[in-house]
Amino acid sequence: MAFSESRRLFRRARRVIPGGVNSPVRAFGSVGGVPPFIVRGKGARITDADGNEYIDYVGSWGSLILGHAHPAVLRAVRTALARGTSFGAPTEGEIELAEAVRRHLPSVQKLRMVSSGTEATMSAIRLARAATGRSRVLKFTGCYHGHSDGLLVSAGSGVATLGIPGSAGVPESMTRLTVQAAYNDLAAVTQAFDRWGDEIACVIVEPIAGNMGFVPPVPGFLQGLRELCSARGALLLFDEVMTGFRVAHGGAQRLYRVKPDLTCLGKVVGGGLPAAAYGGRREWMDRVAPEGDVYQAGTLSGNPLAVAAGLETLRHLEQPEVYEKLGALGARLMDGLREIAAERGVEFTASSRGGMFGFFFHPGPVTNFEEAKKAHSERFRRFFAAMLKRGIYLAPSPFEAGFLSLAHRPADIDRTLEAAREAMQQAAALR
């Protein structure tokens, strides 16, 4: 494959944009090489500036569950566009989207729309602090909830520790109120509550971790969090920006039958346009301004174009076979990759739920970030490069989940596995 035009664009971009990209992982820092600059997408495929076509397993990081340029979504956006791009005033579409979410997420009685997942989690945590009168937040190492200062932390030492700043520009005072524990470790959460229980406002968790790779909860973990929060007076906050309407119609909370107090949504609910939301029980959401004393606002919140795309996307997800299809495609892809790795003698583990999947060059199981970091990163880099060369676009980091869409077909999976046979051979050469 030729990448001359993408290389030229990357050089140009680096002169005016930090790192040449507007979100760090896009720079291909974990995998090396030049990031393809994408010019169009259709269905399950994207095309770069050099004319190379790829089967896409990123899907705008999970947003495009219907695939690229879905005709019904484009029609909905064009209809909305003809009426205007933004009003900064209420529209009926916002009500319809909120009602659609509430129908399928019983935990969400009211919700507030925002424009990004970072805004959603930041606002939900502010609400949890107001509702409980407490200050500390418990999060899990390796789970990413946006780049607000209090959540941009790295782990300290020990089982359950206070966070330390994970980025320059984040004062220690901003992370001192963040407590961290290992994902899937209820004992560590119990220890944190024993030490700071009357100070913990909420536990925020990705119910399926997607930012340390794809790491599902072990049996009983989410249920244990629910019980601990209820017993200790903290709110349970599910960050379903990735999993909402992707792993099941009611998100991970319906899949695992655990009811959080607050939920953050994004990606799928915007249908590929910038939109997110946070919501929960009426008694908490009534604290949000202008009804209550928790202030949050946004000029483009509930933008009519994003609302139209999100609402049309959710309408297409109401058929029960949708998630069966996504689940079958994911299982077929992961089973095939495991089989190929076993044939090559490569340590490998993989899993999927609905339209979300992930794999590690690791014997498994991987249940937390420390285990994820032990995966063979150089094998991943070799595998990624070989797959890209063969027209398969995977997430350019070993610590990111992958995504399927309803536009993917069994033939796409077969072609992907065919490419993986050669790519796995190259990965196997590394010891």
Catalytic residues: 144, 239, 267
Helix axes of 304-316 and 71-83: crossing angle, nearest 10 degrees: 150
Minimal CA–CA distance to 143: which of 109, 189, 190, 104?
Answer: 189
| Exposure string for 354-391, b = 16+ CB within 10 A, e = fewer | bbbbbbbbbeeebbbbebbbebbbebbbbbbbbbbbbe
**Type of residue at 401:** A
Interatomic CA distance for residues 227 and 207, integer angstroms: 15
CA angle 390, 356, 30 (to 5 degrees): 55
Interatomic CA distance for residues 60 and 158, integer angstroms: 36
DSSP state of 227: H
Find tokens 């947003």 and name the residue.
Answer: 63
Share of the chain residues as helix, strand and coil, in percent rounded to the nearest 5: 45, 20, 40
The torsion angle over the Cα atoms of residues 334, 340, 343 and 345, rounded to 10 degrees, is: -80
Interatomic CA distance for residues 367 and 357, integer angstroms: 14
What residues contact 99, with CB distance under 8 A and at least 6 apart?
Answer: none
CA angle 124, 249, 332 (to 5 degrees): 120
